[in-house]
Chains A and B, each alone.
Chain A
Amino acid sequence: MKWFPCILAWFAGLLFLTAATPAIEFTSSFESIKIDGRPGEVVNRDFQLHLVPGGKPVRFKARPEDWWASEDGSRSFYRPAGTLPHSCGPWISLNPVETTVETGGTLDIRVTAAIPREAGPGGYWCVLTVDEVPDPLDSPRGVAVRFLASVSVGIFINLAPVARVAEIREIELSQGIARLKVCNRGTTPISADGRLEFLPPGQRSGQVSPVASVVLSRITVLTDPVPCRLLTADLPDSSALPPGRYLVRVVLDIGIDHYLGVQKEMEVGGDRLAAAKSR
């Protein structure tokens, strides 16, 4: 029976290894912080995160950093503040930087943007990243896996005048998916969303209801280092969009006084979707 304590210890170790500390639960608006500022101005904003009651106290650490995303949006890149030429990270100060929030409490971070007097016009951006960190004075026993939360919200600062200009550069309808490439040709990041409409052919006005419509979810298109983003959406199935010839219209909203729009008549449906690629 000498092997029995060994088996017992092995099971105990396995138990510790697989006992994961539950992730924290919290709520926040996650709305980007948008500031219309002037050089030399100091602007305050707040970021709040509410911990759902019932858990343990959570320690948070906050920092500003730079952010951009790959063209297809599948990857995000976070770098130290000041990496990008239009970073607002060096202008940002936070209070508190590191704090513990009791369960059911609120993390309330004062975000101050001190815009330098010499800053030129255009759009500047960075993100406020709030990481859950282990409590330095809490010494866990045994071996455990702990999932730590991390939240980032955008900070966008516009110094007038800014130009919001975008270009729909590529449109591709294939494999049941619509892909649009939108490029930022202005001086500030833009949010872009819109819709893809399929109208009966021969229409030149918007008075006729589309046969089908697809929503293009909102994305943020930066000015650099990746000034173009892909908007994708699933195309309707054949019951909603019978194969045939349609006037395909793209309507894009980038937050200016009018929509960006392009249209083209083409055969849509079945295998022809794959052929309806246009560059």
Chain B
Amino acid sequence: MIASRRPRAARALALALGLLPALSAGPAAGTSPDTWRISIRGQDVTRAADPRVASGVLLLNVVALGPVLALVARTAGREVQVRDASGTDWRGTAGDSLLSSTGRSLSLERPIRIDGPSAYLPATTIAELAGLPVDLDSGTRTAAFADRDEPAPSGWQSLYLPKQPGLTNDGGSIQRRHQDIFLPPDHDTLRVGLGLGVVPGADAGGEFSAVGSVRGIDTALSLLGTTGPRGFELLSGHAQLADATRGVGLEAGDLFSGIWGLAYGARVRWRRGEEEGASWPAVSIYQGDPGIGNPTTVVSYSDEIGLGRWSTAAGELASDGSWLASGRFRRRRLSLFGYLRNASGSLANGRGSGLSGSLDLPLGLELQGALSRSGSGDRRLDEQTLSLRVPLRQGSALTLATDRFAIGQTRGQIESVEGITAFGRLQVQERWQWRESLFSGFLSTPAQHFTEHDLFTTASYLVGTRLRIEAQLIERWPEKSRRNEWRQLSAALPLWHGSSLQVFASSSSSIGVGSSFRVRFDQEIRPGFSLFVEAGDIVTFQSETQIGPPDTNRFRIMVRRSWDVATPAPGNGVEGFVGSSGSLATAGLPVELGPYRTVTHSDGRYAFPNVPPGDYDLHLNEKGLPADILAGPPARVRVKRGESQEANLSIVPLGEARGWVYVDRNGNHRRDPNEGIAGVVMILDDRATVTSPDGSFGFFNLPPGTHRIRVQADRLPPGLEALIPSRMDLGLPAGRSVGELEFRLQEKHKSLVFQEARK
């Protein structure tokens, strides 16, 4: 056996022939391969053929030999399917002695054997399917499939040259018809995320999120809870439902109030108007929380209105008398924002006002400024800031800023200069600021004056394409105290696919603040599932109660898992049929509904399931219709939630009008060969054409109805004139052709006038 003597050669051959899987698998378990040697065009394929003998008949694995013999063979359960060399599909079932095709059958010497993915047919049958002769020699136990019948010129040797992928003439390939179907999704999706983290010996935390859509309603839910020394605590939670179609939204949990900032409660919103950019007024109820916001439970109304093209005004009014009013203006290079607030509660800055703005100047300069006042009495804070950003070359920029403030008995000023620039892979940001404060004294406390200088330096450098190093340095020089420094170095490096390793190290010269070190490692185990480990000086979940630096030598492990959950789809079905005024087939016609596309079924009906609510144009795509069909008028469909829509379309078959223009030269009152006139301009409605050399003309793709057809009398060839009538009204039924229209011309006759010759 060649395969056993030269395994490498056999493997190379198998690779070339695409038989490696078959060879790797070897003979099926439990079988006893015979000692037959099988060759195809001189190449040994014995192992792939897996020859077996049953009652003296040689059986071969047609599935493995298929690629070499230009057959497509596969098994499906107890059935084998074979597409032969001529493209005919054959089927047979295990145990049957017959392969059948449409209206044809092929008898087999022995029944079909199916063994997993392998199917065994008699060698003679395989040869017949492949269109090759096979030479079976039971004496030498060889089966040789001969070459195809590709005769060569006399004296030339015929060759079989297998193709390699990519080296093919596409002349035999066929462009596939593009099935243009795009339907709304049959379900909505909610992405659910779950994260769990444990700090051994300390506490644990968990987060849950669900974001997506349910029946077209935007849904968002998030929860964060911890358990530890303080027991179980729900740190935050927020739920939101928004129906953009109906213009209604609900929220609960952690909300943002314009008056108090973070608040707990519930809110209902609704859209005012249908146009894009319409405002969403809201009514909210906030639970009382004297610690951070409103002291009592209140109800508030918030709204936003447009004031002309460039301005908006917004406000919130609460039942306890608190209120907020704000305005925004933006036009060209100038933008302004201002607010007035009067909030009850324990907030130090319950009352406040502010005005901020920015102005884009020529050369890319940007000027920003703000004035604000909040609180009252000794806790009143006044602040004025002004900054100018100057862009430099290649992304670099310089910012100059000044900030004046006054809080209680203290007044101060901060002047700063900040620059950012990049040198190749190195990016540097530097900020220097000078701070001066004056405490004017209180009761017996003397007035005090403080000054200090701060330098903030941040540099990041990308090493190669993977490693990023970032360093931060903060230096502070108080006027009458020692210089302080705080340093941090971090590095991020993906170790392998889906991983990320980050290292942080920091130190400080301040008293009571030591050095810290932290390492974190992320690994995506598979899409949607990741593992996160952090070790070193880490902060626990409930660490806000801790005093002093975080414990060292802790580690935290977290897993995060997210997956998509199919939810009910929005919208409803839109369906109907395409009708024809004739006997046209209405199957396979392209129907478009807004962005969605489908084709009609054999009965002319179409259906778009799960169409989201909205207004859509429904029409037939002219480009996809047969050339001799005209689409009827389109339709406008409004899809509402909970209502299916029925809308029908139509097609109109187009017709033709053909005819002849001739001169009845022999006067027999009918058109004869060689009497046609070329170059005659014919007009049908607003179309024009010219007669061919034989005098024929045609107008094609005509909609049904009445058409007026005529000879262009003032453009007739010289010496000819039209007979009256030179036009006719043609009633063209749908899809019909009129083929024997005749227009007669006649030659102009000029009388011959003889004159007497002068002498």
Contacts and interface: CB of A to CB of B under 8 A. Distances in A.
A110 B623 contact: yes
Contact of B690 (A134, A249, A258): A134
Interface string B158-177: 11111100011111111111
A173 to B, nearest CB: 12
Given A261-B159, A262-B156, A162 B628 contact: no
Contacts of A36: 174-177
Contacts of A278: 153-156
Interface in A44-76: 44-46, 61
22 contacts: A34-B173, A34-B175, A35-B177, A43-B177, A44-B625, A45-B175, A95-B654, A97-B698, A110-B625, A110-B627, A112-B628, A137-B688, A158-B174, A168-B153, A171-B153, A191-B172, A254-B172, A255-B171, A258-B160, A259-B162, A262-B159, A264-B157
Contact of A251 (B157, B161, B172, B175): B161
Interface in A205-219: 206, 218
B429 to A, nearest CB: 52
Given A139-B715, A163-B86, A259-B163, A133 B169 contact: no
Label chain A's interface by main secondary structure: strand
A47 B175 CA distance: 14
Contacts of A260: 150, 159, 161
A237 interface: no
Nearest to A100: B688
Interface string A107-145: 000111010000000000000000001101101000000
A45 to B, nearest CB: 8
A259 B159 CA distance: 8
B307 interface: no
Nearest to B157: A263
The list of the 9 closest CB pairs from A to B, nearest first, reads A255-B172, A191-B171, A161-B87, A261-B159, A36-B174, A95-B627, A253-B169, A259-B161, A97-B700
A162 B171 contact: no
Contacts of B86: 161, 163
A161 B88 contact: yes
Interface string A243-279: 0000001110111111111111000000000000011
Interface string A168-183: 1111000000000000
Contacts of A152: none
B712 interface: yes
B156 A263 contact: yes
Contacts of A250: 156
B174 A34 contact: yes
B153 A262 contact: yes
Interface of B: 70, 86-88, 150-163, 167-177, 585, 588, 623-628, 654, 681-682, 687-690, 698, 700-701, 712, 715
Given A137-B681, A192-B169, 11 more contacts: A95-B654, A96-B701, A97-B698, A136-B712, A191-B171, A218-B169, A251-B161, A259-B163, A260-B159, A261-B161, A262-B158
A258 B87 contact: no
Contacts of A33: 175
Contacts of B624: 44
B753 to A, nearest CB: 28
Contact of B626 (A42, A171, A279): A42
A61 to B, nearest CB: 8
